[in-house]
A and B are shown apart, each in its own frame.
Chain A
């Protein structure tokens, strides 16, 4: 017997082993692909939600849009911000309290100001932003386009 690496039998053995590894890889790939999340982000909300005329929203107020799972905030200067209603801590739904002028998470007491900035932990970052645009005096929000942010910046505000 010569070196198994150079015989035909040895070569075929290696070939089988190689094919086995490829087959195993395919199985793993098929399995993982099958298990990929079926529901996409934003699948259960409309692509565009017309919130209403600009003058419907008083400065310093927050309006909830349950169909789009977001809040539309109008700041004192008249600018608009649309924010996702999920707490950035552990995904609870955060209600707005007009009396305290802040979002207060019922689960673990994180609080956010009207711009979504964290006022008290444990939430690690501001509420997620949604795209707002004002067209012909109407406020429109795309609830599917959700962006994370690390801080509030004035350029996030959309003015009429």
Chain B
């Protein structure tokens, strides 16, 4: 470590410098395993998420000085930001693209952790905190969706909160608490603005701090067992530091490029009397909107999401302690099982969507399009478990990983269908004939 600091500070100035230096550097480890440096071990996704959060905080703070959270004025203040404020479009563009990339990067980070066993053993609770962060990022992003008060935001929030009304018994109450009334109004805008600019950022900051602390306590990112690669230790400075700076610069460059070239979209002013065709939820909720097309509403908006969140949080606790972690897909056997799961979901999901589209007539009663599909899904997962257990002899960790990949790939396919393959009237189309919104 060629850091030029005297061994024992003699003056106040030196002491202060030492304090500042050590404070900044105690946030990072002094040494780390050389194996953790490999880019393909993590792709730097966790760090990139933090950087995007910082970009969002900075550009969000600037926009708060211009934006006015009152219907009738909100849209004009965004137009003014785009037209009159120097670098206004750039700041708004950086915020928009950082937000979209954050959702994407956080999802990729989740996948990386799942596929390298980074959620197992001592890192179990870190995963639970990560699940909270994922939900927090979605809430922050969704609450920001309404603020421009254009047609896209108004109707996306109308139909997304409309999905809540299908929750049995509590639905209407939930929708009204979220909206502050029976429909999207001034009360909704204040609710969303406060959630977006105070509640979500503070919650994310606290949870992220806890998450990072847990990662440090676990000895850093998950790495393969010692016997597979040599156990060399390297100093954080400069080995990891230069890599983090390089990745950070690349992420900033990408965001700036997207913001400068594409900017952030702003449609026509919100009009409560005219719904656009089609009206779509934000892209990360399109999986649910697609579920709503095929399943009984109570299952699409309550049973499935609840099971998904519970399963997601419980995932590391399904695997017994002491599983071998750190290599991609856990083992060659795990890789085969995972690829099989992903392939199966990629084939089966579009097939089922097509069958439902042309054979059945949309959602029926809770038995036909609720309980029966849930039992079928359980049977498919069960059958798949038996298959990989028998044919590939997977252990518990590999089996859980493969089933999780099966389900999340299926949901991902639904989201892609919803975003790109649904056109006017939510009919199936090709993306190049007007599917993408």
Residues of A near any B CB (own CB < 8 A): 35-44, 66, 69, 85-87, 89-95, 105-109, 121-122, 124
Q: Which residue of B lies closest to A106 (CB)?
A: B277
* Known A93-B275, A108-B426; contact A39-B181, beta-carbon cutoff 8 A: yes
B279 near A37 with CB under 8 A, answer: no
User: Could you tell me if B363 and A37 are in contact, using CB atoms closer than 8 angstroms?
Assistant: no
Query: Smallest CB-CB separation from A37: which chain B residue?
Result: B176
In this complex, the interface size class of chain B, counting residues with CB under 8 Å from chain A, is: 35 or more
Interface contact B362-A106, CB-CB below 8 Å: no
* Residue in contact with A38 in the complex, picked from B187, B424, B426, B427, CB distance below 8 Å: B187
- Tell me whether B340 is interfacial, beta carbon within 8 Å: no
Q: Any chain A CB within 8 A of the CB of B403?
A: no
A-B contact count (CB 8 A): 87
- For A44, list chain B residues within 8 Å (CB): 185
> Which B residues between 177 and 203 are near A, CB-CB below 8 angstroms?
177, 179-183, 185-187
Instruction: Give the distance to chain A from B158, nearest Cβ to Cβ, in Å.
Output: 5
Neighbour of B297 across the interface among A37, A43, A109, A124, CB < 8 A: A124
Q: Are A93 and B180 in contact (CB under 8 A)?
A: no
- The verdict on B72 contacting chain A, using a C-beta distance below 8 Å, is no
B425 is an interface residue with CB less than 8 A from chain A? yes
B-side contacts of A92, CB under 8 Å: 155, 158-159, 275, 279
Which residues in chain B, 108-160, are within 8 Å of chain A measured between CB atoms? 155, 158-159
Chain A to chain B contacts (Cβ below 8 Å), 21 pairs:
A37-B182, A39-B179, A41-B181, A87-B275, A90-B279, A91-B159, A91-B162, A91-B165, A92-B155, A92-B158, A92-B159, A93-B275, A106-B275, A107-B159, A107-B276, A107-B426, A108-B425, A109-B424, A109-B426, A121-B362, A122-B293
Determine the chain B residues whose CB is within 8 A of the CB of A109 once the complex forms.
Answer: 424-427
Q: Which 8 A-B pairs have the closest CB atoms?
A: A39-B181, A109-B425, A90-B162, A106-B277, A107-B279, A92-B275, A90-B159, A37-B176
